[in-house]
Amino acid sequence: MLECYIQKGKIQSGQGGLVQDKQGKTLYYFSGKIGQANDSLILHGPTGVRLAKIVQTSTSFGTHFDLYLMDEKKARMTKLINWPMMTYIVPAYRWVVHGDLNRHTYHIQSGTKTVMDMYPANTLMGEVFAIEVHNFEDIELSLCIASVLDYWVQEKKNAEKRVVAGYPFPVS
């Protein structure tokens, strides 16, 4: 099992994001951004090698995310439910991604087996998401999915700020 941390909001802000271990050693990093159709986030290894990417695609049926290992498309992640429990499915892997938007806790399940857990934590790096990936072969795609979950947390916070500031329509 790999336990690592990503800083909250760094990915969504377009600053990329570091994936670090408990000691603060960089294991992976993200480049790119998501938020609009055809945006992509690329996961790099510590030496800069491109390992995986997630591409946001929009259709008339909503937003999807295509998952790639290296440059080969492996799966599509589709949102099923958004409030209060967010649920995505990744049929190619038989994964269900679900989480609580208020508590910011998320999980990837494959049947009764847990693939990944993600929850808020405070470390020397500041406010982070702790990510526990249970199988080594699922690390890259799990981290890509975690980046989307971080994006949705930050978007929810931004929408709440817009409503408080007097804007009538929150962006979902």
Please list, in sequence order, all residues whose beta carbon lies within 8 angstroms of the beta carbon of residue 155, skipping any fewer than 6 positions away: 12, 35, 171, 172
The residue among 152 and 158 whose pLDDT is bigger is 152
The whole-number pLDDT of residue 142 equals: 95
Asked if the 2-164 domain carries CATH number 3.65.10.10, the reply is: no
CB atoms within 10 A of CB 119: 16
Instruction: Tell me the pLDDT band of 113, cut-offs 50, 70 and 90.
Output: very high
What six digits make up the tokens of 44?
Answer: 């790099």
pLDDT tens digits, residue range 16-30? 688 999 888 999 999
Instruction: Tell me the pLDDT band of 168, cut-offs 50, 70 and 90.
Output: low
**Domain spans of the chain, in order of start:** 2-164
What six digits make up the tokens of 78?
Answer: 């589709």
pLDDT tens digits, residue range 27-67? 999 998 887 888 889 999 999 999 999 999 876 677 789 99
Q: Looking at this protein, which amino acid is placed at residue 18?
A: L
Displacement of CA 96 from its chain's centroid (Å): 14
Instruction: Tell me the pLDDT band of 166, cut-offs 50, 70 and 90.
Output: low
* Cα-Cα-Cα-Cα dihedral sign, residues 22, 136, 32, 107: negative
What values do phi and psi take at 138, rounded to 5? -100, 5
What values do phi and psi take at 4, rounded to 5? -145, 175
pLDDT tens digits, residue range 84-97? 678 899 999 999 99
